[in-house]
Structure 1
Amino acid sequence: MKKQKVMSKVFVNKILAGTATGVIIGLIPNAVLVGVLKYLSQYRLATTIGQSAIIFQIATPLIIGALIALQFEFSPMNLMVVAGASFVGSGVVKFTPDLGENGLYVGAGTGDIINTMITASLAVLLILFVGDRFGSVAIVLTPIVVGVGAGTIGFYLYPYVTAITSTIGKIINNFTTLQPLLMSILIACSFAFLIISPISTVAIGAAIQLNGISAGAAAMGVAATTIVLVVNSWKVNRSGITIAIALGAMKMMMPNLFRKPIILVPCIVTAVICSVPVALLSISGTPGSAGFGLVGLVGPLASLDAGLNIGWDLICWLVIPVAVALLSQIIFEKGLKLYNREDVFKFLG
């Protein structure tokens, strides 16, 4: 029983590690380029680069599936079968019968990361179960049985799994009916947690059409977690890891969240304090900026466009989060000794 528990833990950790790295690779290019390229939209090359980054982002489930399979040291064929199944089950490409004469397959976003993980897990388990049973016809049967099979199961699970995101979105949407300060705190805390979970903050922000102060609070929650992770990662991870987080790869800390949930304490506290200026200064955003935070400077630029002056913009988006993150580090790690930075913020992927 104990051995089975250990094996289950190792299995989950490998799924999380592959997902965390895959999310970084898939999302970073568009996250970094989107803020810069929008100012160069008059140039054809800039537009093409932006389109290429979006298409690359659509391949995120494929990348996640491949990296999960790599965690299990699968052969090249089995690796790509898991990748293909993950792509199908993610829902990133959907058949739209109303487009064209006979319908079209349309790709958008990154798909549902949770369903990608579930589908990849099913594909991995099927490959481990099948082993060498297919013999010389493995090249034919493995893609059909495992790739299409697991992908189809993921396809049918997709509506039920995405209902989780929908339910969370509805709960957060209820916060928008509260008075501004309480609303800002609750929304900021929600997004501070979601940005290091498998759930997409961008998808939720767009799905419930957060706007105005509610969108500003959502983006501030993401920004708060980003700053906390950067501040605490600086001396415990390689510089590349910290830079990746700063550029938008907060989800790479998913394994840390599942294994060391204490990581949420400084994130939530920082989000609470940083959300206060959002309500007091009416820091606003759009449905498109709600899930990005500091990534590509989307959050700060959206609040500038909404009328916040550049001085307050710098103070609210950078000075206050950095100061609170540093202070929370001193209080929680050195004062209250709730955790050790090396233990909690060391990248586990």
Structure 2
Amino acid sequence: MHNTPSYRVRKFVVKVLNGTSLGIVITLIPSALVSQLLLLFAGNPVAAKVAFMTTLIQSTLPLVAGFAVGQIFKLSSIDSGSIALAMFVSSAVVTQAKDGMVIAGTGVILNILLIAVIATALVKLTENIFGHLKMLLQPLVVLIVAGGIGLATLDPLRQVQVFIGTTIAYATEFTPIVLGAVLGGTFAFLIVSPLSSVGIAMAINLTGIGSGAANAGIVVASFTLAAMGAQVNPIGGTLAHFIGSPKIQMANMLTKPKLFIPTTIGAMMMGVVATLFNIKGTPASAGFGFSGLIGPLTAFNLSDKSVSAVFSVLITFIVLPIILAFFLKWLFMTRFKLIRPDDLKLTLQ
């Protein structure tokens, strides 16, 4: 069974997913940890430098993910670097401008993931054929072939993300309760998928209670995944689910779809709660969830800042998500035994 072609392909894809997920977390967590804290030191030159560094490294996502994929496959530095280069040039992180090039954003993750698969497969096929010329030819061949394919697929996959965003935008026409449930569940799915939850929220201009519901859904999904995997993951990996991004579980989620059941149920419930509590957000804050405290702080800043508003934010973003996370863990792991701790084990190398 373990030697069948389908098993080898699945194992290969899972390793690529794990490496890409690790690259996402490595490059996004620093900013998530300090972004809101730095706002307290606006104008301070040291804070400005820290903000510059943590913002800039987000655009290195395809490079770091490429090296992470190479490390998981135990490839050489030349092979890993070749994968990283192909992923970088086809990620849309860099765009040409009249006077040079502009680096911004984290790129189109769907395309990054596709080229991670193609570039890694190409490296595995060619890692021994260049001999003493490997240092010269391997990076060039992988860059031109895999990177070229990536540039060709970039616009179509970007349009896929736009189409999905347009489809999700229809949810904003629902009644508030239904809107909260749909957006909560949808963004809980997006945050652990190859799609950008933040990018889609910005594309459809998701604001108000729709944004609040989306964030609430992401929060409970983050806590649920953290709770269910705490037994087999290190403390840092557990905290990374909600302090950083639950996208760290992307490989497990895509290869074990049953994991979407508890997160979707919890997210839809919290989306309704957020709507009832009139939790709001902005297009820029939707899609972050608990990460960097962006979701809860934005919700508080958009409220009347009364005691009841503080209570609503705490209930929506901390108290109920934690309670619901442990209830869902008990329900699906202890009561129904549908999910095992090893289903959420992270590959952190």
Give the length in aligned residue pairs. 343
Pair 1:134-2:130 in alignment = yes
Task: Report what 2:74 is aligned to.
Answer: 73
CA shift, 1:152, in A, is 1.9
Q: Kindly indicate whether the alpha-carbon contact (under 8 Å) linking 1:185 and 1:272 is maintained by their aligned counterparts in 2.
A: yes
CA deviations 1:86-116 (Å, max 9, x no partner) are 111111111134xx3xxx2111111112211
Amino acid at match of 1:158: L
Distance 1:325 1:14 in 2: 27
Alignment of 1:38-117 (within 5 A): 38-97=39-98, 100=99, 104-117=100-113
In structure 2, stretches of 5+ residues that fail to align are none
Alignment of 1:1-349 (within 5 A): 3-97=4-98, 100=99, 104-307=100-303, 309-340=309-340, 342-348=341-347
Q: Kindly indicate whether the alpha-carbon contact (under 8 Å) linking 1:253 and 1:348 is maintained by their aligned counterparts in 2.
A: no
CA deviations 1:187-207 (Å, max 9, x no partner) are 110001111111111111111
Q: Kindly indicate whether the alpha-carbon contact (under 8 Å) linking 1:224 and 1:321 is maintained by their aligned counterparts in 2.
A: yes
Secondary structure, counterpart of 1:109 in structure 2: coil
Distance verdict in 2 for CA 1:135–1:328, change over 3 Å:
closer
CA shift, 1:266, in A, is 1.4
CA shift, 1:131, in A, is 3.4
Distance verdict in 2 for CA 1:317–1:150, change over 3 Å:
same
Q: Kindly indicate whether the alpha-carbon contact (under 8 Å) linking 2:127 and 2:138 is maintained by their aligned counterparts in 1.
A: no
Deviates more, 1:37-46 or 1:174-183: 37-46
Amino acid at match of 1:111: G
Q: Kindly indicate whether the alpha-carbon contact (under 8 Å) linking 2:70 and 2:80 is maintained by their aligned counterparts in 1.
A: yes
CA shift, 1:148, in A, is 3.0
Identity of aligned residues (%): 33
Amino acid at match of 1:266: P
Q: Kindly indicate whether the alpha-carbon contact (under 8 Å) linking 2:183 and 2:268 is maintained by their aligned counterparts in 1.
A: no
Q: Kindly indicate whether the alpha-carbon contact (under 8 Å) linking 1:184 and 1:275 is maintained by their aligned counterparts in 2.
A: yes
Q: TM-score, normalized by length of structure 2?
A: 0.94
CA RMSD of aligned residues (A): 1.7
Amino acid at match of 1:300: P
Q: Kindly indicate whether the alpha-carbon contact (under 8 Å) linking 1:256 and 1:348 is maintained by their aligned counterparts in 2.
A: no
Secondary structure, counterpart of 2:299 in structure 1: helix
Distance verdict in 2 for CA 1:137–1:222, change over 3 Å:
same
CA shift, 1:260, in A, is 1.8
Amino acid at match of 2:58: Q
Amino acid at match of 1:96: A
CA shift, 1:159, in A, is 0.6
Distance 2:117 2:311 in 1: 48
Q: Kindly indicate whether the alpha-carbon contact (under 8 Å) linking 1:255 and 1:348 is maintained by their aligned counterparts in 2.
A: no
Q: TM-score, normalized by length of structure 1?
A: 0.94
